[in-house]
Structure 1
């Protein structure tokens, strides 16, 4: 899972982006400025590099990008009218939106890459984390089982000594030695 991204990090990146890149769509700058000025809206913006048909997505590109300058996806509806986004932002500030920004070097820009939250990336990170948890849990359970088995054998050895059962004592000490060697 990606880390939580604060609105100040999002705002700082967008300010850097606007300062260092010319946009293909002048109106797109207005949208980004509006988001920067309204942290409650920016809080619900997720930076991503994929467009999902199940959510609202805003795509903005710099002049160096081959992608369209501005596109707004409202689930399955596609629009290139920035005023629709501004109206939607004003009318529904708490709705989650994806923001895709295309600019030269975006794939190696560390600040931008840290902002990205892609579902596939999150799923893969969750998978790795849960596999690690599973491995650690199995190790702990194996260790507990070995301790329980050892304690049980020691109790049986004590009982064999109390009963003066030499054959049983030898058999149990062999099992104890095997158990101790398997732990090493």
Structure 2
């Protein structure tokens, strides 16, 4: 069996809180899939926000609407045979459930990173802005995050593991699940 055929037409949903490593993992996973003769379509939540424009805020309802847009985009691309990798927060049980019911080849990866580590990374200054009162609607702080109930892979933070090794683990599990 050619695992490449099984990966095309599927959606790999990488989720976790801000600064958990979603984009990093998605990028490494994209590289791994390319070595398997798969040409994945990589979607990043921050870049998608730029594409969709400023019409979506950061409150619960706006985030939920945007998450449904992401899901619809993934469905469209996967139905055309693309192997879609999306890195997004989108921590809603209803989104995860909808995705499992409607997205072809749905494979969910949850990055479980403690808030202390997220605050240490703080690449966008989000947590610092929250602490000073300049930002609100931050998942894990003033917005309740609905962590996935049954992800295909849950990756708990381990400072001794590199993103490359995690991507390798995910890649191997993905191939096993799609075989």
User: Does TM, scored on the shorter chain, surpass 0.5?
Assistant: no
Superposition TM-score, scaled by structure 2 size = 0.25
Larger RCO of the pair (alpha carbons < 8 Å, separation 6+): 2
Q: Please identify the structure whose Cα radius of gyration is greater.
A: 1
- The structure that is helix-richer by fraction is 1
Superposition TM-score, scaled by structure 1 size = 0.25
